[in-house]
Amino acid sequence: MLTILFIAFLLATIGVRLWLASRQLRHVVRNRATVPPEFASRIGLVSHQRAADYTAAKVRLGMIELVFDAFVLIGLTLLGGLQQIDLWVSTLTTHDLLRQVLLIVAVISLLGALGLPFSVYRQFKLEAQFGFNRMTPKLFVSDTLKGILIGAVLGLPLLAAVLWLMAEAGTFWWLWAWGLWSVFNLLVLFIFPTWIAPLFNKFTPLEDQALAQQIQELAQRCGFSLNGLFVMDGSKRSAHGNAYFTGFGRARRIVFFDTLLARLSADEIIAVLAHELGHFKHNHIFKRLAMSFAGALIFFAILGWLAQQVWFYTDLGVIPQLGGRNDAMALILFFMVVPVFTFGLTPLFSWFSRKDEFEADRFASDQSSADQLVSALVKLVDDNASTLTPDPIHSAFYDSHPPVAVRIRQLLAS
């Protein structure tokens, strides 16, 4: 029964995703010739067409990657790929915990290797074609190796601990594992700004003292304490611009991409930061963390039950080992097939996210200037070549942010 359900959900997911992608592609290409009226005085036709072509290229690549990933998933599950990897890893060691860790490492490595050509093409062909790529092959390799090293240092102890809990903590191992996973994620969020991010980028204090003073005044008005204002050398990898808040408590800081500072005025930057502060003021960050942890608890509970069912393995193409534990295989199967069965929830989470964005926009218009936020949004979509004409259904299904035209209408009406 699980085999039939898995195939049915997988085909439905692929069909819906390809249908949504084709809608987005047709809608963007159809509206390529004319700049929407909301942007006609701010964005030229050449920029609009560049954004449409960039969006279309990303959609086409995504469709190819989607089909490829589906074949990989079928090959690893129903066609016995995971079974063969498990048998091969069993020849390397007789230590049960080590065997299971190696099994997960082998699968992650295989998936990473299969996805690498897409990453390389996206970075050095697609992004370069539209003038965004500034990353060198040397930096790409360096980032990849650093990512692998950090993943190993942080992830392998967590993985070994979860596998140990599955074997030794009894029926409710999943509850202990969820607690460990939650603490681990909070730890990573805490150490990321000061320990992980600097391994990839250089962060320097914001030198514009007038802008820094305006930001501090905005933060004080909003009851928000900051530990620093930093500029990140994002331009060494991409021409895309951004800014973000990071850290918790006294470690909270604002980080600007250098590309963003070069494009926006001081008033526009204040408006963008007011929007981000709106997320904190309305507790969006903590609400999302709480939802994430609650969802993880549910998933761990389901995994705790499925891991004990023989059909969970056999219906997905794996024969459980009789001479050792199958906890690692349960983890692999679960996290590979869960996205297939939960894809239908995507528009719900997108709706919640867009609701938060509207609230943050309203907060920004109260604390700064709606006109300046509109101006900043127009510049950002222009610089990042974001499409001005997304398909409404595709946007409602996927987009965490409302279409810019909708945001502008809401802001100007407030």
Residue 81's CB is within 10 A of a number of other CB atoms, namely 18
Q: How many helices (H) and strands (E) does the chain have?
A: 17, 4
Return the residue matching tokens 């074949």: 71
Classify residue 264 by its DSSP letter: S
Return the residue matching tokens 């239908």: 344
In angstroms, rounded to a whole number, what is the distance separating the alpha carbons of residues 124 and 126?
A: 6
- Residues annotated as catalytic (active site), given as ranges: 276, 361
The CA-atom distances, in angstroms, between 409 and each of 129, 197, 350, 373, 404 are 32, 36, 20, 12, 9
The CA-atom distances, in angstroms, between 386 and each of 352, 401, 412, 413 are 21, 12, 21, 23
Q: Which candidate, 288, 286, 283, 266, places its Cα nearest to that of 218? A: 266
In angstroms, rounded to a whole number, what is the distance separating the alpha carbons of residues 352 and 360?
A: 13
CB-CB contact of 36 with 405 (8 Å): yes
Helix (H, G, I), strand (E, B) or coil at 167: helix
Helix (H) or strand (E) holding 286: helix 284-306
Q: Could you write out the DSSP letters of every residue in 368-412?
A: S-HHHHHHHHHHHHHHTT--SS--HHHHHHH-SS--HHHHHHHHH
